[in-house]
Structure 1
Amino acid sequence: MNTPLTQSADLPLASGLTLCDDGLVRPSWASHDELLRSYYDTEWGLPVHDEAGVFERLVLEGFQAGLSWRTVLAKREAFRQAFDGFVPDRVATFTSDDVDRLVSTPGIIRNRGKIEAAIDNARATVEMRSSGDSSHRPAHLGELVWSYRPTRDPLPRSQGEVPTQLPESVALAKDLKARGFRFVGPTTMLALMAAIGIVNTDIVGTHRRPA
């Protein structure tokens, strides 16, 4: 990544952008909290292709539904411990006893429905690469998700222009649901796609997307 340019305090900023105390412009959601700021600067939007990495982010996006990403991010290490490093083959073997254990595990979001969905999604991830004609199925979850990469990125210039869904996220959600995945709606899938570098939804004018 190129050395970021600082922003003059005299220039007006579009809605959804904030000039931070270090002179860098960030989206407002990543401007005030140090954990979110670090996440935006060093992780959000950078490519993730491997199966376990994509599975982790898909599960965490599902847990985020109805909550803030800050809440999920603060619990990520606890989630990694509770879900065996988000290795799909391990999570796929979880039983009802494991669900009961996770519901009682401190440090994670103890929502039984979301926990059960995470296990179902692990099983669907394993099933995807272990059944059917190998010439007609994706090698793994990461390959499937990346196959829905748009040909062009949106160019939002204010918060109001940031999309909540794209045709590709709608199609991905439909595909995943048909394969048995849960908590994978179009808005959640666009958040996943943006987070792992498949599509850039950053507002033009940030230090990571200056123009």
Structure 2
Amino acid sequence: MKSIFYTFIWAILSTFFSLVILTVSIGVFHHHVGLSILYAMMGWGVMFAGSRWIAFQLFLKKHGLSRSDYVYIKQHLKEAGQKLVRLKKALFAVKNVQTIKHNYEILRLARRIYTITKKEPTRFYDAQRFYFESLDSVVELTEKYALLYNQPDRSHELEMTLSQTRVTLTELQKQLTNDLQQVLGRDIEALHIELEVADKMIKK
């Protein structure tokens, strides 16, 4: 939300700056209207591009990232976003009341990790197991499960395979929970410290 707000503010300032250029170009230097509009548009472009660059540099500084780090993380977030779309599609392709709650929890955990990382890119390094192992496993397994589950005639062997897959997905859900705990590790540690300080103050 903040980035959208800042972009909006910079757009207004850029527009104001371009109007100033247009006014000065016509009123002071008596340039042709078409040429003045061109100057104004160029001024708007330079102002807006410059403001975006400054905002980006401030963002990198705030999160302690280099440009290459940001590009690397952004690429993996883009891929993860596509995988989450596949995961949602596969999870809800299984029309089974018994698995709805379980499927929703898997999706909730995966989305939560993704959202936190997208908001604070440095946490990507705390969530590497999720991005390089857990997410791929749960997406691939869920897609295969959905495909087999929706077969019209399921043999006993297939039913056994589906049952084993559900067990594995339950284990993966636990792994996603652990991945989330890893991402939130800093916050949990900070809370413990605050609790200790508060406890000491109360005992005084």
Q: Which TM bucket (shorter chain)? A: under 0.3
TM-score by length of 1: 0.26
Which structure has the highest helix share of the two?
2
TM-score by length of 2: 0.27
Structure ranking higher on relative contact order (CA contacts 8 Å, 6+ apart): 1
